[in-house]
Amino acid sequence: MLTLPAFVVALALLITVHEYGHYRVAVACGIKVLKFSIGFGKPIFTWRLKNKPTEFSIGMLPLGGYVRMLDEREAPVDLAERHLAFNTQRLKSRVAVVAAGPVANLLLAVLLYAVVNWSGLQEPKAVLASPVAGSLAERAGLRGHETVLKAAFAGEDPQPVRSFEDLRWRLTQGALDGRDLTLVLAGDSEGSAGEVLLPLSQLGSSEADAQLFRKIGILGPWTPPVMGEVMAGGAAERSGLRAGDVIQRVNDTAIVDGQQLREMIRASAAIDAGSSSGRRTIPLPQRWQIRRAGESLELQVTPQLKQEGAVAVPRIGAYVGARPEFVMVRYGPLEGLWQGAVHTSEVSLLTIKMIGRMVIGEASVKNLSGPLTIAEYAGKSASLGWTAYLLFLALISVSLGVLNLLPLPVLDGGHLMYYLWEWITGRSVSDAWMDRLQRGGVAILLGMMCIALFNDVTRLLG
């Protein structure tokens, strides 16, 4: 229900900010702006401000926008107004106008992140769940239930870790950049205190997906091994499990947290090589010792196999693990703004690195997302509340800003590339080369859009 309006609001805001950046700097540089349009196609609404030459309009197709300036390359310009034309401006003015759109999107992201920082956000506390067996975290000595106080990349001072999401972001950065991360732990009766080094550089990973975090071994925050909502008709209900049951043992293994229990369920499958239909995966029954209303019970639980892509994964049809402990993460005025700028720069750099890896083949083009995926996440984030929606808007605003700065003809970055050539050589790009580059840029952009749309449809149908 919220998907379409949330998507439209997101597009309208991000496009308006982008085009207003171009418009505002053009006016400041003394350039005559003829039209400011949000959307393409036939205008559904137009207006003019008093004593202003610009026509403002909203088009029927809200998938972009444009700012049309007086320019001798597009139409004849009266000699009396030649000094107001874009093409007659000094190089630095033209660079400022073109760069202003992407910069406006990045500044919007800083502001959105800052608003979230100022208002505060409830996030899971940075208490570690049991690590995945054989993972980097387990080999480093983590056992679960440790509280992470600080983290530091090699050669840097330790920085406070305010929440589990903060920790996850640092793990993502370290894994993709090949930088080792040192965790400073508080420890308690069930976890060791001190420092632990996670050699993330050993992973050699190029994509931030679920498999990356399984390799690291840190999948989520610590949760008590308590059953949550039990779905009707699922394996949990058929086995007699109820919400609120505390799981103490599975077979002969003592259960200490929800993550360990989820891993035990995931491991409850075997290959039946003797099947008449060939090798197939079958779920194995498990003995669960639980505590319910002060009494100990033993149940036999046989998970069901659920197809996830090409893999059949055991599931029991219930929410496993109680709600983790949450903390309120809030910053003061200046610190919140600074953290917004830092996070915007970090997301921008990560986006550029991922695009670079896709270009050289180190990362899959399946990471490209199009309008369908963006619309889906717009609706999901809006349903979670205004804070989640602001974070979504900030992320898309960063992506839009970075994408437009790519040195690709037809994008703002392509025009900046032309101006760099003009600055180095002292002459502008010829019309013939401009035409070739523009055609090539359109072809590349259309190819990227087709891949993104294909990925969208594949995700939705999968």
Backbone angles phi, psi at 300, to 5 degrees: -105, 120
Nearest by Cα to 312 from 264, 275, 269: 269
In this structure, the number of other CB atoms found within 10 A of the CB of residue 397 comes to 28
Helix axes 91-119, 412-425, angle to 10 degrees: 140
Helix axes 371-384, 3-28, angle to 10 degrees: 110
β-pairing, 253-254 vs 269-272, is: unpaired
> Catalytic residue at 19?
yes
Q: Name the active-site residue from 19, 123, 146, 263.
A: 19
DSSP letter at 191? B
Could you write out the DSSP letters of every residue in 343-402? HHHHHHHHHHHHHHHHHTTSS-GGG---HHHHHHHHHHHHHH-HHHHHHHHHHHHHHHHH
Helix (DSSP H) and strand (DSSP E) numbers for the chain: 12, 18
Could you write out the DSSP letters of every residue in 127-174? BBPPPPTTSHHHHTT--S-PBEEEEEETTS--EE--SHHHHHHHHHHH
Conformation bin of residue 350: beta by default, left when phi > 0, alpha when psi is -120 to 50? alpha
Conformation bin of residue 154: beta by default, left when phi > 0, alpha when psi is -120 to 50? beta
Task: Give CA–CA dist 415/450, Å, rounded.
Answer: 23
Cβ atoms of 353 and 207 within 8 Å: the answer is: no
Tokens of 76: 């004849």
Give the active site residues. 19
